[in-house]
Each structure stands twice: as structure tokens, then as C-alpha cells.
Chain A
Amino acid sequence: NAGVTQTPKFRILKIGQSMTLQCTQDMNHNYMYWYRQDPGMGLKLIYYSVGAGITDKGEVPNGYNVSRSTTEDFPLRLELAAPSQTSVYFCASSPALGGETQYFGPGTRLLVL
């Protein structure tokens, strides 16, 4: 049982480049989330999904897109990378909304230069 896995672990992008951060969970959780964590700041929600085919914006969605074609996978897409997107990105999953524990992946560190 691997839990939540994320790839890549680290990536350097040039301004304007695009990339997809991958997230997979094997716990059969319906709910999945993407957060970003900036130094000295709390985690901020980017997007979340309540099931395959259903996604919604979080607190900081600008510059990102998501899709959810299967229960297991929830990729995060950066279309035109900007220095402000330099951060550590965490994917999480939970069995339900509203008080259920969220389980986090190991994170992807992204540097945009």
C-alpha cells in the first residue's frame, strides 16, 4: 500500500514552460487535493476533486489546471510557468469531505527561473 505518490520529486522550469505534476493514490479515496507550500507559510489549496470528472477551485487556482479521469490519478498542470509558482506542491487524498483525515504525498519541489 504505497498511499499517495508524486512525481517528479524536483524540477527546474524556465519561465513560460509547461509541465504536469503527477499524483496517484491507491487507497480508493474519492477526494483528492493539491496544495502549495511556500517557505514560512501555511499550505494553500489550489484545486480539489470529489470524484472522477469533478473538480473545483481552491484558494489559489490561478495559473493551474487539473483533471480527474480516474479515481487514482489527479494531475496538476502548469501552462505558462512564472517565478511566483516556485514552491513545494503536495497532493493529498481523503475518503470523504468534512472532517475526514487527509493523507499527503511526499511533495514536488518546483523552481521556476
Chain B
Amino acid sequence: EDQVTQSPEALRLQEGESSSLNCSYTVSGLRGLFWYRQDPGKGPEFLFTLYSAGEEKEKERLKATLTKKESFLHITAPKPEDSATYLCAVQNQAGTALIFGKGTTLSVSS
């Protein structure tokens, strides 16, 4: 069964304190692993797509990496505006939908 597990559920950081969010997945034939950001009361906003082990992508203070079993979202020197819930998803085997994890809620205080 396709499955996505994210950890930790919640993470509190001080401004400038770097950390990583984890996304472990089980799916036959990875078609893509997706990271989204979701602010309270809003829809998920696309961040990155990773397709193969070893791939990395960066955007401002965020860097996503992928191995054969998990992905990490590294946050370098976070700012309060990085506070949000970060969602990880993989394409299901049929390629018809995304399987989402429950998300990691990040709080960055100044």
C-alpha cells in the first residue's frame, strides 16, 4: 500500500536555527515526490518536485533532497515567515492522485 509518513508532527525553531523535516514513503515505482507549503486557511502551495534518488532542489532557505526511501526538507536560517505546515506527497501507483502525509507544522519565532 502506498504510504507517506512525515516527522516530526510539529517543530518549533528560533529564527536562524536550521533544521530538517523528514518524509518517508513506500510506493512501487516512484513517479514523483512533491513538497507543498500550506498556510492556515489556504490551499497547498507547490514548492518542489523530485523524481530520482540523489536529486536536490533549492528555493531561498529551503532545500529538498531525495533518497530511495525518504526525502528531507532542509531549512537554513529560518525566518518567522517560514512558519507554515509543510506537506509531502507521492504519486500513487496508478498515477491518478497524490498520497499525502499528515504534514509537519513549523513555527519559527524571532
Interface residues in B, total, Cβ within 8 A: 25
B110 contacts partner chain A, Cβ-Cβ < 8 Å: no
Residue of B nearest to A44 (CB): B100
Q: Interface of B with A (CB < 8 Å)?
A: 4, 31-32, 34, 36, 41-46, 49, 51, 87, 89, 91, 95-103
B95 touches A97 (CB 8 A): yes
Q: Is the beta-carbon distance between B91 and A101 smaller than 8 angstroms?
A: no
- Chain A, residue nearest B34 (CB): A101
Given A40-B102, A42-B87, A99-B32, check contact A104 B44 (CB 8 Å). yes
The 5 closest A-B pairs by CB, nearest first: A98-B95, A42-B100, A104-B43, A99-B32, A99-B31
Contacts of B102 in A (CB 8 A): 40-42
**Interface residues contributed by chain A, number (CB under 8 Å):** 25
**Pick from B41, B42, B46, B100: contact of A43, CB under 8 Å:** B100
Contacts of A35 on B, CB cut-off 8 Å? Answer: 100
Given contacts A43-B89, A99-B49, A99-B95, 13 further A-B pairs with CB under 8 A are: A4-B43, A35-B100, A40-B102, A41-B102, A56-B96, A58-B97, A98-B91, A98-B95, A101-B34, A101-B49, A104-B43, A104-B46, A107-B43
- Interface residue A102 (Cβ < 8 Å from any Cβ of B): yes
B96 touches A43 (CB 8 A): no
Query: Can you pick out 27 interface pairs between chain A and chain B where the beta carbons lie within 8 Å of each other?
Result: A33-B97, A42-B87, A42-B100, A43-B44, A43-B89, A43-B98, A43-B100, A44-B100, A45-B96, A45-B98, A48-B97, A58-B97, A90-B43, A90-B44, A97-B95, A98-B91, A99-B31, A99-B49, A99-B51, A99-B91, A101-B49, A103-B46, A104-B36, A104-B45, A105-B43, A106-B43, A107-B43
